[in-house]
Amino acid sequence: MKIGEFARQLGVSTDTLRYYEKHGLLTPSSRSEVGYRFYSDADYKQMSFILRAKNVGFSLSEIKELLQIKFHKNQHSCHEVKAMTLQKRDLVAARIAELTRFYDSLSLLADKCCGGEEPAENCSILTTLEDIDGLTQ
């Protein structure tokens, strides 16, 4: 399958596929005589793996690591894979915590503001940000 059809079937752009190839995530299994990329069923499976891993939150470099493990399964342990997964989960959790603080602060701010059409002279959002904060910690 040439790159265009392959991209269409997977719902990604051809640029993305060339990008992934350049970054060692998916090298098409063959090329035509004039250099056209040809993708096989195995390539389809690998790309699906990549997309699923992306869907659960792994970054491309993490996915590359996972692929290395997948290619040399006997040289890596379950422990290693689970550790990566848990570490990623913890990172995600930390980011969620930070964003939740943002969310709470923004809610507090919004609640204080009347939201009317009058000039923002005494807008409590602005004054709260100006004054000593009743926001942080």
Q: Does the footprint of DNA cover residue 2 (CB under 7 A)?
A: yes
User: What distances in angstroms separate CA 103 from CA 7, 12, 72, 96, 114, one per listed residue?
Assistant: 37, 32, 43, 10, 19
* x/- track of binding to its own copies for residues 53-92 (CB under 8 A): x-xxx--------x--xx--xxxxxxxxxxx-xx-xx--x
Region from 2-10, 16-24, 34-42, 116-124 binding its own copies, contact rule CB under 8 A:
116-124
Q: How far is the CB of 55 from DNA (least distance, A)?
A: 11
Token pair in block for residue 17: 């596929």
Which residue among 34, 78, 97, 132 contacts Zn ion (CB under 5 A)? Answer: 78
* x/- track of binding to its own copies for residues 93-112 (CB under 8 A): x-xx--xxxxx-xxx-xx--
Instruction: Tally Cβ neighbours within 10 Å of residue 17.
Output: 22
- Cα angle 80, 84, 90 (rounded to 5 degrees) comes to 140
- Amino acid letter for position 96: I
